[in-house]
Chains A and B, each alone.
Chain A
Amino acid sequence: MAKYIVKRIISAIITIWFIMTLTFILMNSIPGDPMSMGKALQPEVEAAVRAKYGLDKPLIEQYLTYLKNYTHGDFGVSFQKIGLTTNRIIADGFPYSLKIGGWSSLFIIVAGIGFGIISALKQNKIPDRVMMIVSTLGATVPSFVFATLFLYVFNRKLGWVPSFGAGTWKHYIGPVLCIGMFSLAYVTRLTRTSVLDVLQQDYIRTARAKGLSEGVVIIKHALRNALIPVVTYLGPMIASLITGSFVVEKVFGIAGIGSLFTTSITNRDYTLIMGITVFFGIFIVIATLIVDVLYVFIDPRIKYD
């Protein structure tokens, strides 16, 4: 197991290096650069600024500098936010996204799996039909529509939640729901399908033939098997929720890492793009690793040697 984890960490480093290289190539190949924003600078000033940020050096040298700095955990200085390091910017924005994504993940795990099980056990009956319609809506309605609707009803009409910012727990209700809508719908459907599939298995009939009660059959024999595919989805899902959403953060006026990432791209803020990309990359790699390790405990057929 330890050997496996070491192997996975090595492959994770390679993955992240690959992500960095690709990002570097892509961001240098889109038109424009950090200097092309706003009004034109005097040539001497521009040359001075370029020299200061190392943009006058050949691309390969810039690339190697990135790699070197990243090995020390130094993500560089932002090109657009004067005087702020990328590490600082991420450290400021991430807690909001973490809070929203974390609660959202928890909510999805509890509610999504719960709804899915109920739906499967009441297959083709009214609760199932209702949940399937709602989850189809959840998976298809874009989050900005849902977010706007949420604000209109609960802020404008009912006045229950604030519309902007991240001061109290009430501020988080909207973002948590909106960012998780799609995943909630997806997890519900996935759990339902999986439970229905497992209930058809021969070993469920064996369990019933032993004289076990329906509750034991479902909780002990069906659920553990049914949750294996759901866990597969949960890892990347949690990573993507925690890394924030541009749309949701914009609508609810939260300075999270999701909106930072998008603005850094439109600003051609090279260091910030690289920084956040690598940060996300590390997150997703860790989440996948955790899921893969969890598998061993859920499914005895999986062994890593």
Chain B
Amino acid sequence: MSDKLLEVKDLRTSFFTHLGEVKAIRGISFDVEKGESIGIVGESGSGKSVTSLSIMKLLLYPGKIVGGEILFNGEDLVNKTNKDMMAIRGNEIAMIFQDPMTSLNPVYTIGDQIAEAIMKHQKLSRKEAHERALEMLKLVNIPDPEKRIHNFPHEFSGGMRQRAMIAIALSCQPQLLIADEPTTALDVTIQAQILDLMKSLNAKLDTSTMLITHDLGVVADVCSRVVVMYGGLIMEKGSIRDIYYEPRHPYTMGLLKSIPKVASDEKQRLIPIPGTPPDLLNPPTGCPFYARCEYAMRICNTQQPPYFKSEDGKHESMCWLLHPDAPKNEKYELLKGGVKIGK
């Protein structure tokens, strides 16, 4: 138990819109161990970002956590008041957002924005906080930091702004860093730099990471374990090996087939997953992927599958095909042995 930093248990989050309750997260459980990097993948609307905002308790009206527990160092965050959360946010759990172009306040200098969190949580003076901010800028490899600390966000490039965001997030040495699509808005070359930076700093500062992305390539690069989300539920979770080489859920297989591969010599079309995600205002009673699944059976439409675990219990998949009584599907069995990447 003691090595678990974050444990999410049966978390449910809904948005109470005037059309009705949109069940964005419908009972998810996963954990993050100390010093570990975990990836959460899924397409738009799968509930990835809502998961991270629920953990930070930054959901805006009309979003609300309606059930479950979020244990952080054994303490349940769901019941914490906003005041308690203020001492945790930015200090023990920090967050990096998707769009560095809009995530920094345009009217304050980079230095002020980094120093702000330091002053709040570490009770340092303005001067000490700015010295610390300067160290952070050096740490995230901003060139000429003594000058750059006085710059405003618009004087930074996208990659530099994301570095500044990382500097803000890591300035108080948080135990958990939630990175919500940190590289989506950046050029590919900058993406790699930012990911490398995150990896090396997390190792240096002993921070656990929760990386939210729709890019399986990014996850493979940074994380040791993966959670695949769809329709507000976790479809499959396991180690990088489990998910990439032995996927057992048709959705995960579909995701893997839709990644472009540079290494392949053959001209190969990407295989998209046909259809659209389910409407979470009226979520399906069965498997959320039923409507788009090429192996769907009758039971998939009516009953939500349980998690079927692998022998070591670490690879869990929510799919009826894994039931001992399920009919064998040749194609599925073949893919289960590993989606040959590029085929």
Interface of A is mostly: helix
Tell whether, in the assembled complex, residue B104 and residue A208 are in contact, meaning their CB atoms are under 8 Å apart.
no
Tell whether, in the assembled complex, residue A203 and residue B117 are in contact, meaning their CB atoms are under 8 Å apart.
no
Per the bound structure, the CA–CA distance linking A301 and B104 in Å amounts to 13
Q: Which residues of B contact A206 (CB under 8 A)?
A: 97, 103-105, 165, 168
Stretch at the interface among B86-94, B130-138, B325-333: B86-94
| Residues 77-95 of B contacting A (Cβ, < 8 Å) | 82, 85-91, 94-95
* Interface range for A: 20 to 34
Closest to B56 in A: A209
Question: With an 8 A cutoff between CB atoms, is A202 at the interface?
Answer: yes
Question: With an 8 A cutoff between CB atoms, is A92 at the interface?
Answer: no
* Interface range for B: 20 to 34
Question: With an 8 A cutoff between CB atoms, is A210 at the interface?
Answer: yes
The one of B87, B103, B106, B165 that contacts A300, using a Cβ cutoff of 8 Å:
B106
Tell whether, in the assembled complex, residue B152 and residue A300 are in contact, meaning their CB atoms are under 8 Å apart.
yes
Tell whether, in the assembled complex, residue B102 and residue A203 are in contact, meaning their CB atoms are under 8 Å apart.
yes
Question: With an 8 A cutoff between CB atoms, is A298 at the interface?
Answer: yes
Per the bound structure, the CA–CA distance linking A141 and B132 in Å amounts to 57
The one of A202, A208, A221 that contacts B89, using a Cβ cutoff of 8 Å:
A208
The one of A203, A213, A225 that contacts B103, using a Cβ cutoff of 8 Å:
A203
The one of A202, A208, A221 that contacts B99, using a Cβ cutoff of 8 Å:
A202
The one of B91, B103, B154 that contacts A211, using a Cβ cutoff of 8 Å:
B91
Q: Which residues of B contact A225 (CB under 8 A)?
A: 105-107
The one of A205, A211, A212, A300 that contacts B97, using a Cβ cutoff of 8 Å:
A205
Closest to B154 in A: A301
Per the bound structure, the CA–CA distance linking A201 and B102 in Å amounts to 7
Q: Which residues of B contact A170 (CB under 8 A)?
A: none
Per the bound structure, the CA–CA distance linking A294 and B96 in Å amounts to 33
Question: With an 8 A cutoff between CB atoms, is B9 at the interface?
Answer: no
Per the bound structure, the CA–CA distance linking A207 and B103 in Å amounts to 9
| Residues 220-270 of A contacting B (Cβ, < 8 Å) | 221, 224-225
Tell whether, in the assembled complex, residue B97 and residue A202 are in contact, meaning their CB atoms are under 8 Å apart.
yes
Closest to B85 in A: A211
Tell whether, in the assembled complex, residue A207 and residue B120 are in contact, meaning their CB atoms are under 8 Å apart.
no
Tell whether, in the assembled complex, residue B90 and residue A298 are in contact, meaning their CB atoms are under 8 Å apart.
no
Per the bound structure, the CA–CA distance linking A211 and B174 in Å amounts to 12
Tell whether, in the assembled complex, residue A299 and residue B86 are in contact, meaning their CB atoms are under 8 Å apart.
no
Q: Which residues of A contact B90 (CB under 8 A)?
A: 209-212
Closest to A198 in B: B105
**Which interface residue of A205, A210, A212, A213 has the most chain B CB atoms within 10 A?**
A210
Known contacts A202-B97, A205-B97, A301-B152: A210-B107 contact under CB 8 Å: no
Q: Which residues of B contact A205 (CB under 8 A)?
A: 58, 97, 103
Extra pairs beyond A205-B97, A206-B104, A209-B90 (17, CB < 8 Å): A201-B102, A203-B103, A203-B105, A205-B103, A206-B97, A206-B165, A210-B89, A210-B90, A210-B116, A211-B85, A211-B87, A211-B88, A211-B90, A211-B120, A225-B107, A298-B107, A299-B106
Query: Can you list the 7 inter-chain pairs with the closest CB atoms, starting with the nearest?
Result: A211-B90, A211-B89, A210-B90, A202-B102, A210-B117, A203-B105, A209-B95
B residues near A (Cβ < 8 Å) are 56, 58, 82, 85-91, 94-95, 97, 99, 102-109, 116-117, 120-121, 152, 154, 165, 168
Question: Can you pick out 29 interface pairs between chain A and chain B where the beta carbons lie within 8 Å of each other?
Answer: A201-B102, A202-B99, A202-B103, A203-B102, A203-B104, A203-B106, A205-B58, A206-B103, A206-B165, A206-B168, A208-B58, A209-B56, A209-B89, A210-B116, A210-B117, A211-B85, A211-B87, A211-B91, A211-B120, A214-B82, A224-B107, A225-B105, A225-B106, A299-B106, A300-B107, A300-B109, A301-B106, A301-B152, A301-B154
